[in-house]
Structure 1
C-alpha cells in the first residue's frame, strides 16, 4: 500500500518536473503518460482491444479500463457489442455509448516500460515543439541574441535558450565566420512548421535587420517620431536607408547619425563595417530619387510613370559616382525608390534629344508635306504625333508664333487626311491578314495594333483571350499600351466565354417558357 501511494505521488512529481524543464503544460505531460500506459495495456491484453488509461490529476491514481461500444451491427468483435446484448450487461445503455470495464493495474515489464518511456519522450518532444512554434511565430520581425551551437559548412545553428534557430550561409555577412560559443545577434524572418519540428530562420543580411538595429540605437525611431520608409542593402558592403520625421523640429538624418556619428557607428560596427547612407525620404518621386543617388549630383530628372522608369541626367564627371562601383549606387537607389533608374550624361542626353527632334521633324515633313521650318516649330511646341496635330483646337495651334488660323486649319486638314489614309491602309492590311472584326471592335485596340496582331497569328477573339497581359505587351512592342490597359483588352476578349456559359441556361429556359405558353393556350380550349 505504501509503495502504491509513493508511486502515485512520484508520477505527479515527475510530470511537474518535466513540465517545468520543458516549459510545457503539466496536462500535456500527463496526457503523454496516459497514452504510454494505454499502449502498455494493449500490449498485455491484446492490441485489438480499446484500452484507455486515466491518471487522476489530484491523487495520481491510475485507472485502466476497457471500452466496448454498443452498436446495431458489429464490425469489430473486440471493441463492439450488439445493443441488445449490451443492455443485458448494463441496463439503460444507448446506441453509441460504451460499456466500461475496470482492469487490474499492470506491472510494467522491461520491454513495456521501455515502450512507455519512448511514447512519453515522443509526446513531450511534440508538445515542446508545439510550444516553440506558438512562441516564435509571433516573434517574426524581432532581433534576437543567441549563442552559436555549431557551424556546419557555413550554416550556423544558434541556441536561443529554449529553442534553436538556423542561419543559412547566404543569410550571414560576407567574410563573417562564427565559432562555437560566439554570441550572435540576428533577425527572425521566418518560422515554419516542418516534419522535423518548427524551424526558426534568422538572418544578418536581411534589410530589416539593419532597420531594427537603428530602432534600438535611435530612441526617436523607437518612439515613432522618426519613421524608416525604405531600406536597401548590399550586405557587408553598402546600404541606403530612407527616413522621415513626423516632427518638423527634428532632423531625421541628424538623429540617426547621432552625436559625432555615435548612433550610426554602433550599427556599422554590428554589420562588420557596412557603409550606410542615410537619406531623407520625400513623397515627391523625383526629389527622392535625387536624394537616393547621393553623393552624386543630378542635373535633370524625367519620369515615365506608365513604364515605372525614371531617367536621370548627371554631369559627365559625376557619371561614375552616380553609377557606383559595379553599379552598386544606382542599384541600391533603384531598390530604395522602387523605380527603374536609367543614368546618362548631359552630353548623351543632348545627343539623344537632337536625334528625337530630327526624327519628329522628318515625320511631320513626310506626313504633312511641310518644310523643315514648320516641322521644327511643331516639335518645339511639344507636338509628338500626327494625332495631336489633327485634333488640337484651332485657337491653340493658331497661337503659335508664325501661325494663323488658315495655317492651323490647313495643318489639321492634312493631318486628318493622312490619318484617314493610314487607317484605310491598316484596315485593308488587317482584312488581308484575316483578323476578325470582333477584335477591331474592342476599345483600346488601334488599327496599327491589329496589323501587329495579325502578323503574330492572333486573328480571333479566342487567340487574343488566350494571351496574358504581359504577353500582349511583349507581342505589340512599341505599340503596346500600359499593362493595366493590356489586361483590360484581354478581359474584353474573354467576355464571350462568359456569354457562352449563360447561353445554355437561356436555351433551357426557352423550352420551359414555350411549354408554359402552350399550357396557357390549352386551358381555354378545354373549358370551351
Structure 2
C-alpha cells in the first residue's frame, strides 16, 4: 500500500474516527500513524537510517525524510554512516556546518506490504491504548475519595467489574458488604478507594466497606455536613451489621446528632438502605477521651472510666447488668468503640473492679507489714492515705505522715528510718548481685540509675556504659507497636521502675555525651534551630 493522494484524506478521517471513539486527542492518533509509517520505511530503506514521517494535519499528505546529524569524530566515533556525518562530509551539503546540525533529505514514499501494514497497525493500536490509559488515569486520579455510580459488567472470582463510564473499576470480594451479590447491568454505588497506574493500564479500586464510604454518604444526605457546619470526626464499621459515627457541630444552634438523623430518621435511613440495613449509632464527638468513650459505648451505661494516655488504654467500669450490652454481640459494641476512639478498652464490672482494688490494697498492706514490721491495722492506714511504695514513706515530708491518726513525730521518724534502712539493704544486695553478673563501675556509677536498675540491666546483658549507650529509648522504657491493626506491648528493661520514654532518652543521650559519642555543642545547635523553626511556624500561623 502506498500513501497516494487518493487515500491521504482517509488518514485524517481514520485518525478522527479513532480519536472520537476512544475519546482521545486526534493528534495522538496521527503521531502514532507517523511512527508506524516511519517503521515501515526503515524496513524498506534500512534500519540504520533515521527515517521520519510527517503527516500534514490539513491535507493528510505524508512526507518521508531522512535525517543525518553532524558529529565531531574526535569526541565521538562515526558508528552509523547512514545517520551521521563528519564536519568535512557535511560541507558538500551546508556552507558552514557545525556539530549538532542536521541534514534533512526527502525520500520517496514506501510501498507497504502485508507484513509492514500489519506492523503499522500494531503500532497505532498500542499508541492508542497508551493514550486511552493516560486519559483514563488523568480523569480518575483526582476522584479518589469520592463516591461513583456505575453499572455491573461481570463478576470474576468474586470480584465485581464495574463500568464507570470511561473505564472499568474493580470491587474486590473483601470490599463488598456481607454476602452482597450482583448481576450484570445492576446499578451500584461505590467509594473510589484508590487509583493506580499499572503496566496494564490504570486500576480503579472500589469499596463499599470503607468507613469513608459511610462518611461520603452522610455528606450527600446531610447538607450541614456538606456545608462544613457539621464535621464527621470518626467512623467505625462492621460492614453490613453495625457502625458508629462521631459528629460535631460548629454551630451551637444545630444538634449534630439530630441533623444526621433527619426528620423521622429520613436522612440516616437513606444511608442505612444503601448499606444493606447496617445499623448506625450517631454519637456526639467530645475532645475529652473518657467522655467520648462513654458516648461511644452507648446504649450501655458506664459507671467509671480510667484513662492511661501513655499506653493508649482505657478501663471502663459498668454495672453487672450492663456488661453484655457494653461488650455487644461477639464483642461488636466494644470493638467499634475502640476503633472510634483509637484506644484499647478493658471492660469490667463494678464487682470485678472492687475485687481488683481490694487485691491491690491487700498487696500494699502486706508490703508495709513485711518491710516495715508493722501490724495489719497500721499498714492499712498507710495504704488508705495513698502510700503505694517504700520510697514514698522513706523520703516524703514528715508532715504528710503526721496527718495519719495516731502518728506523732517519733512514730514518723521511726517509720522513715525503717523504710530507709530496708531500702539501703536492698540497694546493697542489688549492687552485689549486679557485680556478680558482670556489671562494671562505669554503669554502676552512672548518675540516674538506681542499684535495682543496674541489676535489671545486667540481667539483660547490659553491663557497661557502652552497652547502655547503644540502647534505644523504647528498649528501656517499653512502648507500644501496631501490628496488623492491633497494639502490641513492647516490654522495657526499666519499665517496672516507671521510667518514661523521655527519661530514657535523656539517660541514653547523657551516656553518649560522657563517652564522647555526641558533642553537646551539636545538640545545642540543633535545639536552637528547632526553636527558630518553631518561632517561624508560630509567626506564619
Residues 33 and 124 in structure 2, CA contact (< 8 A), matched pair in contact too: yes
Matched, 1:378 2:382: yes
Matched, 1:453 2:453: no
Aligned pair in 2 of structure 1 residues 50, 279: CA closer, same or farther (>3 Å)? same
Relative to the length of structure 2, the TM-score reads 0.86
- 1:150-203 superposed Cα distances (whole Å, 9 cap, x missing partner): 101211111101011111100001111011111111111111121211111010
Aligned pair in 2 of structure 1 residues 395, 328: CA closer, same or farther (>3 Å)? same
Matched, 1:24 2:24: yes
Quote the Cα distance in structure 2 between the aligned partners of 1:79 and 1:462: 67
Stretches of structure 2 lacking an aligned partner (at least 5 in a row): 479-490, 521-541
| Bigger proportion of residues as helix | 1
- 1:388-437 superposed Cα distances (whole Å, 9 cap, x missing partner): 22332333333344434443343333333333332222222222211344
Alignment of 1:146-165 (within 5 A): 146-165=150-169
Quote the Cα distance in structure 1 between the aligned partners of 2:446 and 2:59: 80
**Which of residues 102, 105, 109 in structure 1 aligns to 2:109?**
105
Quote the Cα distance in structure 2 between the aligned partners of 1:415 and 1:56: 100
Q: Secondary structure at the match of 1:88?
A: coil
Residues 398 and 413 in structure 2, CA contact (< 8 A), matched pair in contact too: yes
Matched, 1:320 2:324: yes
- 1:358-384 superposed Cα distances (whole Å, 9 cap, x missing partner): 101111222233332332222112222
Quote the Cα distance in structure 2 between the aligned partners of 1:271 and 1:149: 21
Aligned residue for 2:216? 212
Stretches of structure 1 lacking an aligned partner (at least 5 in a row): 503-528
Aligned residue for 1:229? 233
Quote the Cα distance in structure 2 between the aligned partners of 1:416 and 1:66: 99
Alignment of 1:162-181 (within 5 A): 162-181=166-185
Q: Secondary structure at the match of 1:151?
A: strand
Aligned pair in 2 of structure 1 residues 183, 424: CA closer, same or farther (>3 Å)? same
Aligned pair in 2 of structure 1 residues 164, 445: CA closer, same or farther (>3 Å)? farther
Matched, 1:431 2:445: no
Residues 314 and 344 in structure 2, CA contact (< 8 A), matched pair in contact too: yes
Aligned pair in 2 of structure 1 residues 326, 488: CA closer, same or farther (>3 Å)? farther
Aligned residue for 1:77? 81
Relative to the length of structure 1, the TM-score reads 0.88
Residue 50 of structure 1: how far off its partner (Å): 1.5
Q: Secondary structure at the match of 2:18?
A: helix
Aligned pair in 2 of structure 1 residues 52, 312: CA closer, same or farther (>3 Å)? same
Quote the Cα distance in structure 2 between the aligned partners of 1:252 and 1:479: 45
Aligned residue for 1:8? 8
Aligned residue for 2:526? none
RMSD, matched Cα: 2.5
Q: Secondary structure at the match of 2:143?
A: coil
Alignment of 1:245-256 (within 5 A): 245-256=249-260
Quote the Cα distance in structure 1 between the aligned partners of 2:257 and 2:506: 44
Matched, 1:50 2:50: yes
Aligned pair in 2 of structure 1 residues 496, 404: CA closer, same or farther (>3 Å)? closer
Aligned residue for 1:260? 264
**Which of residues 116, 120, 130 in structure 1 aligns to 2:120?**
116
Residue 37 of structure 1: how far off its partner (Å): 1.4
- How many residues get paired? 500
Aligned residue for 2:291? 287
Residues 317 and 347 in structure 2, CA contact (< 8 A), matched pair in contact too: yes
